[in-house]
Amino acid sequence: MSSSHRLLVENARQLVLICSGGEKYLTEPGMKNLCVIENGSVVVGSDGLIEAVGPAETIRAQYSEATFEKVIDASGMCVMPGLVDAHTHPVWAGDRVHEFAMKLAGATYMDVHRAGGGIHFTVEHTQAAAPSDLLASLSGRLARMQRAGTTLVECKSGYGLELQTELKMLEVIDEARRTLPINISSTYCGAHAVPKGKTVAEATEDILQVQLPRLRERMSAGNLRVDNIDVFCEQGVFDLDSTRSILQAGKDLGLNINFHGDELHPMNSAQLGAELGALAISHLEEVTDEGIKAMAEAKTAAVLLPTTAYILRLPQPRARDMLDAGVIVALGSDFNPNAYCCSMPIVMHLACVNMRMSMPEALAAATINAAYALGRSHTHGSLEVYKHGDLLVLNTSRWEHLIYQLGGHQELVRYVVIKGNVVYDNETSTDL
Ligand SMILES: N=CN[C@@H](CCC(=O)O)C(=O)O
Ligand SMILES: [Zn+2]
């Protein structure tokens, strides 16, 4: 092969493909047996897509005449797909460090919410913020995530709760998607809380009659891209009926259903999601056996959020029961002013220790299955030919160190690559 290519990463001690048969997701048996090549190389073409992966000597022979814009010698290092964060709330103003102190002193999430804090506090600050300030803080947060290895991230609106601010947030997300290297899946979450002074019925009516129709106009005019619709289905927030009507209306607009369910109380959100053909449901700390069965049958991904259960001291999501039942389990950081974590390696560590997942299961959940939860597993989530050349080079000889070394990703991540371009080069990376 004599043509020019964007990137060659060669001689990786371990090349973790995740899977190699075009799988759109992995369930428990596949998650336990990830596809790993010892001493492997990967080639990314000038279109940013993976052109070849395989044993180093095979790639060397195949590309002996080729030229590359960049070559990374990954001898002694590991290469894996970029991580996928399937659930974040990264657009907001006004941190909530004072509430962290309240919660440490014993207040529950709903105590703070009912007292007008929590999401309401963030809504007030986000409504008042200029789009340029929101974009600046979003960009900084996404850069942090990228340095921790995330190359595809879901970003929600939901701190507006009225048309203008929800649109402002979605526009900021869209601007980030157009201008930053990180891949973004955008989610409309206008039903994140019931605005102060409104009933659930009034809030639902506003979403159905005002917000969604305007969103439809903006999307069909081609000046706003939104991928998913979300609702916080919870006691004291949106009940099952209002959740159903909002999600169905979003689906009618062509959005993927991807919502918060069964977090603090069993709401039968899992059964509702399965009935509506949801692509994913997040949280699920309180999911029932029937809900687990329904999700497995409907192929609705469970996006588990270990930071939330950790910070709020909630019961852990039943990851093992879900995996055993054949549910597609994915992971997300849930980055938001309540759970301030930008690191998927830390999320995987918590999933292993607190939710009893194995390291291969956690990595599959943070790559191919998280991509599935965002409807992107045909292009992301594994190192396979024709997928995006999004990958990490880790300064360690075994990939499991990324999970084992709690917080160690800051030293272990040597390069982050998106579509064959190095977007983070960590010269201070060390292998101890
Ligand atoms: N549970 C609802 N939403 C977020 C929290 C958002 C917030 O507290 O600002 C979550 O997923 O944890
Ligand atoms: Zn959330």
The pLDDT tens digits of the residues spanning 21-44 come to 999 999 999 999 999 999 999 999
Residue 2 banded pLDDT, cuts 50, 70, 90: low
Give distance in angstroms: CA of 423 to centre of ligand 2: 27
Closest ligand 1 atom to residue 113 Cα is 8
Q: State the ipTM, two decimals.
A: 0.97
277, 289, 370: which is closest to 331 by C-alpha?
370
Cα 117 to ligand 1 centroid, rounded to whole Å: 12
Per-residue model confidence (pLDDT) at position 374:
98
Residue 1 pLDDT > 70: no
Count the neighbouring beta carbons within 10 Å of the beta carbon of residue 354: 15
Could you give the CA distance from residue 350 to residue 356 in angstroms, rounded to a whole number?
9
Which ligand is closest in space to the CA of residue 337? 1
Q: What mean pLDDT comes out for the span 298-316?
A: 97
Quick: pLDDT tens for 357-398. 999 999 999 999 999 999 999 999 999 999 999 999 999 999
Query: Which of 312, 336, 340, 347 has most ligand 1 atoms within 8 Å of CB, for mutation?
Result: 336
Q: Band the pLDDT of 417: cuts 50, 70, 90.
A: very high
In contact, 150 and 332? CB cutoff 8 Å: no
The Å distance, Cα 384 to ligand 1 centre, comes to: 34
Residue ranges lining ligand 1, Cβ < 6 Å: 89, 118-119, 122, 232, 260, 263, 308, 334, 336-339
Q: Whose CA is nearest to atom 11 of ligand 1?
A: 334
Percent of the chain with pLDDT over 90: 97
Look at phi and psi of residue 353 and say left if phi exceeds 0, alpha if psi is from -120 to 50, else beta. Answer: alpha
Rounded mean pLDDT, 270-281: 98
**Residue owning the nearest CA to atom 9 of ligand 1:** 119
**What whole-number distance in Å separates Cα of residue 123 and Cα of residue 119?**
6
Q: How far is the CA of 114 from the centre of ligand 1 (A)?
A: 14
How far away, in angstroms, is 277 Cα from ligand 1 center?
23
Q: Who contacts 58 (Cβ-Cβ below 8 Å, separation ≥6)?
A: none
Instruction: Identify the pLDDT of residue 96.
Output: 96
For residues 136-142, give the mean pLDDT. 98
Instruction: Give me 409's structure tokens.
Output: 């990703």
Dist. CA 38 → ligand 2 center (Å)? 38
Ligand 1 mutation target, pool 95, 97, 122, 192, most atoms within 8 A of CB: 192
For the segment 114-136, what is each residue's pLDDT rounded down to a tens digit? 888 999 999 999 999 999 999 99
233 alpha carbon, closest ligand: 1
Say which residues have a Cβ less than 8 Å from residue 186's Cβ, sequence separation at least 6. 154, 155, 170, 173, 174, 177, 225, 226, 227, 228
Nearest CA to ligand 1 atom 10: 334
Residue-wise over 205-233: b if at least 16 C-beta within 10 A, else e?
Answer: ebbbeebbeebbebbeeeebebbbbbbbb
CA 119 – CA 121 distance, rounded (Å) = 5
Task: Note the pLDDT tens digit of each residue in 80-106.
Answer: 999 999 999 999 999 999 999 999 999
Q: Which of 187, 214, 181 is nearest to 91 (CA)?
A: 187
Ligand 2: centre distance to CA 169 (Å): 15
Ordered alpha helix ranges (H), 129-192: 131-147, 163-179
pTM over 0.95: yes
Distance 281 CA to ligand 2 centre (A): 10
